Structure 1
Amino acid sequence: MSNEDDPQPPSRNDQVAALRPTYQADLADGLDRFFEPRRETCPWCDSPRLKTRLRTKDLIQHKPGTFVLDRCEDCRHTFQNPRLSPAGLEFYYRDFYDGLGEKQLGNTFAARTKMYEQRAESLLPHSPTPKNWLDVGTGHGHFCESARTVYPDTTFDGLDFTDGAELAEQAGRVERGYRGSFPELAPGLSGHYDVVSMFHYLEHSTEPERELAAAHQAVRPGGHLLIEVPDPDSRYSRLLGRWWLPWLQPQHLHFIPVANLRRRLTDLGFTVVAEQHAEPHDPVDLLAGTWLALDTAAPRDNLPWLPKPPSGLARTGRAAVLIAGIPALLLGTFLDRFVVKRLSHRLRVSNAYRLVARRD
């Protein structure tokens, strides 16, 4: 029974108002400090043959800034250029997975039980009874909680550079939650795990090659590494352009073609035993693209990185745009789930790929 004297949590508008002075102070000196110097060579193969693939805005949080993705003309690696600096990473991640965004994102991740179970099941043909498993980029540990139904005798640990790993341990979703950088923590985990998984983690990494080397260190010989990342060769990446959700700027820093990742894993001493495209496809592209376009066209919501709250007229206009877009959202949902999903690999629109690799 609740106590009438218990303080009520602050409303969202109150939270935004409390955060606005800090954000305005952060923005007072401009955005330059949020970016590193522009690269002149590919971070994957060091080729100087770069071509701009996309210019876009922050279409999710609507924080200020323009973000550029370049593609290497030799190895086809796509990367953010200029890349976010440490200050930029802190600024653009803030209130996405935590703070203002924590509840909404937590509910979204918690509702994806079936997808998490399917990810775990992809390892069954190669390792049906792993003793222990480290999920890197675990967030709040929802994957580990779901994967335990597939592997009830496996011990799941989680690692994340946010406090999500610690919260996952407190909630009992992981046995041990490590907070910090995987490459820095890997020496203390050397040869400890039967399985290391990285689901939609490498694209967030500033140096994905160091993360792969850390995985090789943490997986014991004969153990397995599972990787799932956005597929930059998806036809949707071209057809939808800036409205393709997996671009997720400015958070996603690297987009690795599957052939590049296979070669790098082989060089490290892994053998790729499975490659999947249809299975990891998340049927949301048309729905998400429509939502991003509507959300960009509509007047902004109350956000602390804007200098003041929107007027009543602006809020009414936003509601009108979103209501008018409902038929398009419903059509996108129908096409995603009932038309494109079963043909995603044949049409080459799968938005992700998954590799299973065994450490030799």
Structure 2
Amino acid sequence: MSHGTDVPKTPGTTPGLSAGPGAPAKPSRAETVAGLRPRYQADLAHGTGRFFEPRRTDCPWCGSARLKRRLRTKDRYQNKPGRCLLDVCRDCRHVFQNPALNGDGLEFYYRDFYDGLGEKDLGNVFSGREKMYRRRAESLKPQADAPKTWLDVGTGHGHFPEVARTVFPGTRFDGLDFTDGVDLAERTGRIDHGIRGSFPELARERLAESYDVVSMFHYLEHSTDPRAELRAARRAVRPGGHVLIEVPDPECWFASLFGRFWLPWLQPQHLHFLPVANLRKELTSLGFTVVVEQHREPSDTVDLLGAVWLTVNAVAPPEDSPSLAEPPGRARRLLRCALLLAAVPALVAATALDRLLLKPLAGLGKVSNAYRVVARRD
């Protein structure tokens, strides 16, 4: 689901570069996992509590002390140990991870998800979303002429800019991220210029009023301080320019219906979930005018499929992981295979219902699992 992240991730292998003649054979996944296991086990030797900040007693968005537990879950994607808790503010409805990951926790839980061990799988997911990326770019068309410069924050491997330049062929697309993926994006021509580092820090001087458009697609929810990221966007965009923001919608009905099996919760990586009213108010206070609010268009309607898949993972966790003390035995592997085969009809049915039933309804009520905002800097 994440388009990018604002925290350092462990650099992995660089995709897209084939080994030359005579190069040693690429290690198998089992060999790679075995090589990573000692570091993971050393990290886990003293438990997972050290990965979290102290629990907050007030809302990080409005300061209210009226908090309520929203969700208890765990890492259902990489199956790393640790308990994840989300609270909701009774006053402003902001949902946030509490206690939140600290720097060590962010590094631990992001490791091998976007880069390293998980780089190929996530790269395949992101590269197969051309229609979604095109619709994101086209959402700007009714609001402005073709921009000259565009900064995609949290660009990852640059898949969005690669597609967006087919909508705006004369635009210079830069990408910003923490990882070495942004260097790959520049080398492969997906972006014109790659920038590595913290957006709030870079926006203070280096990027000030440098762009006609700043986009943050599924980025704010990863941020430790969403307000700082929005202020950075205000500094980086020129007067009259636009920001495009897309985030999961915590007010989606499926968030309550499916609970811990709602895919966009993506714990423990997603730290903050902003109701659209809060985001609109914050943008207005920063001197923006919201010109577009969309719910149906950005909805990535995989709620049923995601719920079924996460349920399967809960019953029979995925394959070997370096966070496990030792590889799973034969019985567990056979159980996983049997459960996947048994779940095929449910996965097929969920996919059909997502596409045929839920997607057409995404613009009604709170069916959409995401929203998009386009705002102009006045």
Distance 2:151 2:20 in 1: 41
Q: How many residues align?
A: 360
User: CA-to-partner distance for each residue in 1:275-318, whole Å, 9 max, x for gaps?
Assistant: 00000001111001100100111144111100000111110111
Other structure's SS at 2:239 match: strand
Residues 239-278 of structure 1 aligned to structure 2 (within 5 Å) = 239-278=257-296
Residues 117-196 of structure 1 aligned to structure 2 (within 5 Å) = 117-187=134-204, 188-196=206-214
Query: Does residue 353 of structure 1 match 2:371?
Result: yes
Deviation at 1:5, TM superposition (A): 2.9
Deviation at 1:163, TM superposition (A): 1.7
Which residue is equivalent to 1:111?
A: 128
**1:332 alignment partner, one of 328, 342, 350:** 350
- How high is the TM-score relative to the length of structure 1? 0.98
Which residue is equivalent to 2:232?
A: 214
Distance 1:270 1:13 in 2: 50
**2:297 alignment partner, one of 236, 255, 279:** 279
| 1:143 alignment partner AA | F
| 1:18 alignment partner AA | G
Distance 1:178 1:349 in 2: 36
| 2:175 alignment partner AA | G
- How high is the TM-score relative to the length of structure 2? 0.94
Distance 1:347 1:263 in 2: 21
CA contact (8 A) 2:243 2:375 kept: yes
Distance 1:268 1:349 in 2: 29
| 2:247 alignment partner AA | V
Task: Quote the RMSD (CA, aligned, Å).
Answer: 1.2
Query: Does residue 27 of structure 1 match 2:44?
Result: yes
Which residue is equivalent to 1:343?
A: 361
Query: Does residue 223 of structure 1 match 2:237?
Result: no
Residues 54-133 of structure 1 aligned to structure 2 (within 5 Å) = 54-133=71-150
Deviation at 1:2, TM superposition (A): 8.3
Deviation at 1:124, TM superposition (A): 0.3
CA contact (8 A) 1:13 1:302 kept: yes
Distance 1:209 1:4 in 2: 50
| 2:220 alignment partner AA | L
CA contact (8 A) 1:299 1:315 kept: no
Residues 304-343 of structure 1 aligned to structure 2 (within 5 Å) = 304-343=322-361
Give identity over the alignment, percent: 64
Distance 1:136 1:266 in 2: 21
Deviation at 1:347, TM superposition (A): 4.5
Structure 1 runs of 4+ off > 6 angstroms?
A: 1-4
Q: For CA contacts below 8 A with separation 6 or more, give which structure has more relative contact order.
A: 2
| 2:336 alignment partner AA | R
Which residue is equivalent to 2:3?
A: none
Which ranges of structure 2 fall in alignment gaps of 5 or more residues? Answer: 1-17
User: CA-to-partner distance for each residue in 1:158-183, whole Å, 9 max, x for gaps?
Assistant: 00122221121111111111111100
CA contact (8 A) 1:302 1:309 kept: yes
Distance 1:185 1:144 in 2: 20
Other structure's SS at 2:364 match: helix
| 2:134 alignment partner AA | E
CA contact (8 A) 1:231 1:258 kept: yes
CA contact (8 A) 1:232 1:255 kept: yes
User: Structure 1 residues 340-349 or 34-43, which shifts more?
Assistant: 340-349
Other structure's SS at 1:148 match: helix
Deviation at 1:128, TM superposition (A): 3.0
